[in-house]
């Protein structure tokens, strides 16, 4: 991203790089354990046991942002891995198997003490199984029990009525798996699990997400959005991977304070804002400048993505008497909420209305089933709500099939022919 308008964005990026450098020192110099995990794993358990984690998706985003995905993925194809493999989940594996193709960012991933993932997609078990063999380390897999009930307007139940929303039998099943993971972490660290420490950490997560909710509300109510979507993503995700920690809560507050001050002073991310857009799907990590490419000519600003919006609705849990079960409720339905009908499309339409969205771009990544299975339902729901939709068939991590100039022309045409006329019609122009 060429321009950063917020000081907190710069601070978040610097902290992430420093944190990873310290992780490498701790592993190589002090033989401290760390884990590589899938993004939807219960990261809080690892933090409560003093085992740092690197998210598979975070590392994929870093690799992609450094423009290394074409070399690594071409190397994977040369090794016989098929073209339809999920790039988002397999790109970090590629950086390990194809380390000779290009130097990895920031020195690369050191050997983890273990890797872990929830089995939410067909490819996960094979990707992580091959990765564990490459590292010579253990792979811990958690099952993902499906929902038998999908109550409407789930976000109105998720904070206080999460026992009811996520079904006791699913929560109990996840807690049993959590306990097995905890036993492994106890052996790894020679420490006993402390439920009170987990409860304190989760209370910190609540405070962190409450700050993000304030930012979300400011974006909804301000005459013009005070912060670009890509800067929302940078600040939110830097803290979500370390959620509940002292730094994460402090940085969320810093981000909230800076956005609030901008609203108070009437500062807009794009002073010529005329059209408000939402981006549905993972970030376009290899071309983050895409999100600000339509401001000057079209006054079109991306104001919404799942990253900031999902934190308050997906993570806040009140009533932490049983912190393991509360953590299970955070974990067990993340994919349904973000991707699958009817939960995802209902929530996204509600978010579009709150954020005064004029048009939506929906990313359908090739080979990534959990992130693509419900997209047609989301598109249909938005169109029925009067919001024009442009499907984007591309990959969030793989730049090889991305045509930056061609896609910018396509979006410009969408804005001129569908979004602007719809807004004019709505305003009676």
In 160-271, where does DSSP find H-type helix?
162-166, 168-189, 195-221, 229-240, 246-264
Instruction: Break the chain into its structural domains and give their ranges.
Output: 7-427
- The Cα–Cα gap between 195 and 182 comes to 11
Place of tokens 């993340």: 334
Q: Has residue 357 got a pLDDT over 70?
A: yes
- 3 state SS of 278: strand
In percent, the amount of the chain with pLDDT more than 90 equals 89
In angstroms, rounded to a whole number, what is the distance separating the alpha carbons of residues 291 and 293? 6
Q: Do the Cβ atoms of 333 and 370 come closer than 8 Å? A: no
In angstroms, the Cα distances linking 122 to 21, 39, 73, 91, 367 are 33, 16, 19, 16, 11
Instruction: Return the pLDDT at 426.
Output: 85
Give yes or no for a contact between 280 and 361, defined as CB atoms under 8 angstroms apart.
Answer: yes
- Condensed to tens digits (0 to 9), the pLDDT of residues 274-317 reads 999 999 999 999 999 999 999 999 999 999 999 999 999 999 99
Residue 428: band (very low, low, confident or very high) from pLDDT cuts 50, 70, 90 = confident
Structure tokens at 419: 């979004």
What value does the mean pLDDT take over residues 393-409?
95
Helix count and strand count (H, E) for the chain: 19, 8
Mean pLDDT, the chain, integer = 94
Residue written as token pair 């990959």: 395
| Distance of alpha carbon 219 from alpha carbon 327, whole angstroms | 28
What is the pLDDT confidence band of residue 369, given thresholds at 50, 70 and 90?
Answer: low
- What pLDDT is attached to residue 8? 97
Global pTM exceeds 0.75: yes
Task: Output 169 or 373, whichever has higher pLDDT.
Answer: 169
Strands (E), 6-103: 35-37, 53-55
Q: What is the pLDDT of residues 141-173, one digit of tens each?
A: 999 998 998 899 999 999 999 999 999 999 999
Are the C-beta atoms of 169 and 147 separated by less than 8 Å?
no
Task: Give yes or no for residue 129 having a pLDDT over 60.
Answer: yes
CA atoms within 13 A on the CB side of 409: 5
User: Would you say residue 1 has pLDDT above 60?
Assistant: no
Q: What is the pLDDT of residue 429?
A: 67
Query: What is the percentage of the chain residues whose pLDDT exceeds 70?
Result: 98
Among residues 346, 391, 400, which one has the least CA distance to residue 372?
391
**Within 10 A of 149 (CB to CB), how many other CB atoms are there?**
9
For 44-98, the pLDDT digits (tens) are 999 999 999 999 999 999 999 999 999 999 999 999 998 888 889 999 999 999 9
Residue 365 has pLDDT above 90, yes or no: no
pLDDT of 343 higher than 90: yes
Per the model's pLDDT, the better-predicted residue between 370 and 227 turns out to be: 227
Closest CA relative to residue 180, chosen from 346, 64, 45, 282: 45
Looking only at the bridges linking them, the beta strands covering 53-55 and 114-118 are unpaired
Q: How confident is residue 374, by pLDDT bands cut at 50, 70 and 90?
A: confident
Residue 141 forms beta bridges with which residues?
117
Where is average pLDDT lowest: 150-164, 206-220, 369-383? Answer: 369-383
pLDDT at 372 over 90: no
Location of structure tokens 């730094």: 247
* Residue 133 burial class via C-beta count within 10 angstroms: exposed 0-12, middle 13-18, buried 19 and up: exposed
């Amino acid at each position: 991203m060429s321009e950063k308008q917020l000081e907190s964005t710069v601070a978040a990026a610097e902290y992430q790089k420093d944190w990873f450098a310290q992780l490498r020192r701790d592993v190589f110099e002090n033989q401290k354990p760390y884990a590589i995990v899938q993004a939807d794993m219960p990261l809080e358990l690892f933090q409560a046991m003093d085992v740092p984690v690197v998210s598979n998706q975070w590392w994929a985003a870093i690799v992609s942002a450094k423009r290394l995905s074409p070399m690594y993925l071409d190397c994977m194809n040369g090794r016989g891995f098929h073209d339809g493999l999920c790039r988002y989940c397999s790109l970090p594996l590629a950086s390990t198997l194809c380390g000779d193709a290009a130097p990895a960012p920031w020195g690369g991933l050191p050997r983890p003490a273990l890797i872990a993932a929830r089995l939410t997609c067909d490819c996960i078990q094979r990707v992580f199984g091959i990765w564990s063999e490459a590292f010579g380390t253990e792979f811990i897999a958690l099952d993902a029990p499906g929902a038998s009930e999908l109550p409407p307007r789930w976000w109105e139940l998720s904070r206080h009525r999460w026992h009811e929303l996520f079904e006791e039998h699913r929560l109990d099943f996840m807690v049993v798996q959590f306990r097995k993971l905890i036993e492994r972490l106890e052996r790894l660290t020679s420490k006993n699990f402390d439920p009170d420490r987990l409860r304190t950490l989760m209370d910190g997560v609540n405070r962190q997400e409450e700050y993000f909710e304030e930012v979300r509300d400011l974006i909804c109510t301000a005459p013009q959005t005070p912060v670009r979507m890509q800067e929302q993503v940078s600040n939110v995700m830097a803290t979500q991977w370390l959620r509940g920690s002292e730094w994460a809560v402090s940085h969320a507050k810093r981000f909230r304070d800076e956005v609030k001050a901008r609203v108070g002073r009437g500062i807009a991310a794009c002073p010529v804002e005329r059209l408000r857009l939402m981006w549905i799907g993972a970030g376009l990590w290899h071309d983050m400048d895409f999100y600000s490419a339509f401001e000057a000519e079209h006054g079109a600003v991306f104001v919404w993505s799942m990253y900031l919006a999902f934190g308050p609705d997906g993570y806040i849990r009140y009533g932490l008497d049983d912190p393991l079960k509360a953590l299970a409720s955070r974990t067990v339905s993340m994919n349904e909420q973000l991707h699958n009908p009817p939960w995802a499309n209902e929530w996204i339409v509600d978010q579009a209305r709150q954020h005064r969205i004029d048009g939506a771009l929906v990313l359908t990544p090739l080979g990534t089933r959990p992130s693509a299975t419900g997209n047609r339902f989301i598109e249909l729901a938005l169109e029925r709500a009067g919001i024009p939709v442009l499907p984007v068939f591309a990959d969030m991590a793989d730049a090889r099939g991305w045509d930056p100039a061609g896609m910018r022309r396509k979006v410009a045409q969408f804005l001129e022919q569908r979004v602007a006329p719809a807004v004019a019609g709505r305003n009676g122009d």
